[in-house]
């Protein structure tokens, strides 16, 4: 009888592990909450209400216990229990919260104290960002608020509170960390710089001026070997590679409005989301020669590899769709529809992508 009972206990444990081991993608929807996708089945298996409005940035803890969203419409973040789908905590951060990255128990969130923070309107297309105005003209005067630097809030996920805030550049976007976790790099699209911080001290160590290469740096990603950073320049239709010494290495032309960027798990290819051309472009890292393209939808800003590196999951905001493609053949395997303004996508087990890293 005891062995019989132990068998069922063991079977239940194995079954639970097998269920929990299913690779998942978490997709933030600006007009709803989080869609959970079973990557193997290529199907939506769950919807999670984050309680806040206009979730954009999204990240998952390394152990998969919590998913965090940055809610632009309510100027806060939601910490969700990934297993139950229940809200653990909402933490007020500030206007125009956008990007989220998690390191250990800390979430780093970009926000703009002068940003509008308005809720996202259903079905309303997103206007392209305005190019910098010439000195002294009306557009510049009306946009004076954009001269106020953005900030990066540091939230202790377990305590559920902001524990620090760092000044950044104007219109801060992508966040990345050095391989050893000591440094944080942030793309400032409004001033054409990448800021380098001492992550523990929150101190700015250096500002990398990329204006000689182009304008509007948005996405930033580190290579698997930790030696190179890729940065997309949205207004210049270009991707650049910067060394760990923060010196320029090389660049390549892309199609229209590159944003999300990531190296593949082996570090041999670079994937770039050219959002206004509706493609993901794939480049050879050594030569930056174009290897291929994946056709996607409209305003596809962010993507993630599956944990085995075989699939690419792409969030397409203006198509209300999720494109899943083969990373070897670049063929589209399936397009899932019915989303509500999908903005970001991360996976668990954590994988490389335009937002997260393992």
Kindly report the average pLDDT of the chain as a whole number. 89
| 5: helix, strand or coil | helix
Asked whether the predicted pLDDT for residue 56 surpasses 50, the reply is yes
Residue 95: band (very low, low, confident or very high) from pLDDT cuts 50, 70, 90 = very high
- Given a contact cutoff of 8 angstroms between Cβ atoms, the answer to whether 291 and 269 are in contact is yes
- Residue with the two structure tokens 């216990």: 65
Condensed to tens digits (0 to 9), the pLDDT of residues 230-268 reads 999 999 999 999 999 999 999 999 999 999 999 999 999
Residue 92: band (very low, low, confident or very high) from pLDDT cuts 50, 70, 90 = very high
Mean pLDDT for 8-26 is 56
Range 23-123+148-348 has CATH code 3.30.1360.30? no
Residue 147: band (very low, low, confident or very high) from pLDDT cuts 50, 70, 90 = low
Mean pLDDT for 121-131 is 42
Which DSSP helix (H) or strand (E) runs through 108?
Answer: strand 106-111
Phi, psi of 51 (to 5 degrees): 75, -35
Condensed to tens digits (0 to 9), the pLDDT of residues 23-39 reads 999 999 999 999 999 99
DSSP 73: G
Condensed to tens digits (0 to 9), the pLDDT of residues 270-283 reads 999 999 999 999 99
Asked whether the predicted pLDDT for residue 101 surpasses 80, the reply is yes
User: What confidence score (pLDDT) does residue 344 get?
Assistant: 98
Q: Is the peptide bond before 310 cis (omega within 30 degrees of 0)?
A: no
Asked whether the predicted pLDDT for residue 218 surpasses 70, the reply is yes
Q: What is the pTM of this model?
A: 0.88
Residue with more model confidence, 135 or 51: 51
User: What confidence score (pLDDT) does residue 115 get?
Assistant: 53
Which DSSP helix (H) or strand (E) runs through 230?
Answer: strand 228-233
- Each domain of the chain, given as residue ranges in start order, spans 23-123+148-348
Distance from C-alpha of 149 to C-alpha of 116, rounded to nearest angstrom:
14
- Nearest one of 265, 246, 242 to 311, comparing CA atoms: 265
User: What confidence score (pLDDT) does residue 134 get?
Assistant: 41
Condensed to tens digits (0 to 9), the pLDDT of residues 311-335 reads 999 999 999 999 999 999 999 999 9
């Amino acid at each position: 009888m005891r062995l019989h009972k132990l068998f069922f206990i063991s079977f239940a444990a194995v079954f639970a592990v097998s269920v929990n081991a299913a690779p998942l993608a978490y997709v933030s929807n600006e007009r709803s909450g989080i869609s959970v996708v079973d990557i193997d089945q290529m199907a939506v298996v769950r919807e999670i209400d984050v309680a806040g409005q206009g979730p954009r940035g999204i990240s998952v803890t390394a152990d998969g216990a919590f998913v965090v969203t940055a809610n632009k419409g309510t100027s806060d973040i939601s910490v969700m229990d990934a297993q139950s789908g229940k809200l653990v905590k909402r933490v007020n951060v500030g206007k125009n919260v956008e990007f989220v990255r998690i390191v250990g128990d800390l979430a780093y969130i970009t926000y703009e104290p002068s940003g509008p923070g308005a809720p996202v309107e259903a079905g309303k297309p997103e206007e392209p960002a305005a190019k910098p105005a010439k000195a002294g003209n009306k557009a510049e005067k009306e946009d004076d608020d954009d001269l106020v630097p953005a900030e990066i809030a540091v939230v202790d996920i377990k305590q559920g509170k902001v524990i620090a805030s760092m000044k950044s550049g104007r219109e801060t976007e992508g966040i990345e960390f050095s391989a050893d976790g000591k440094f944080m790099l942030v793309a400032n699209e409004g001033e054409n710089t990448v800021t380098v911080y001492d992550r523990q001290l929150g101190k700015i160590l250096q500002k990398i001026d990329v204006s000689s290469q182009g304008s509007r740096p948005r996405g930033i990603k580190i290579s698997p070997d930790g030696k190179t950073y890729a940065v997309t320049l949205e207004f210049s239709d270009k991707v650049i590679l910067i060394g760990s010494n923060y010196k320029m290495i090389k660049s390549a032309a892309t199609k229209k409005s590159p944003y999300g960027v990531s190296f593949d798990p082996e570090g041999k290819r670079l994937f770039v989301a050219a959002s206004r051309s509706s493609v993901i472009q794939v480049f050879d890292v050594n030569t930056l020669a174009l290897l291929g393209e994946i056709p996607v939808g409209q305003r596809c800003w962010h993507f993630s590899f599956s944990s085995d590196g075989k699939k690419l999951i792409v969030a397409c905001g203006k198509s209300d769709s999720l494109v899943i493609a083969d990373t070897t053949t670049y063929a589209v395997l399936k397009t899932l529809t019915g989303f509500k303004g999908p903005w970001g996508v991360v996976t668990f087990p954590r994988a490389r992508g335009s937002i997260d890293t393992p």
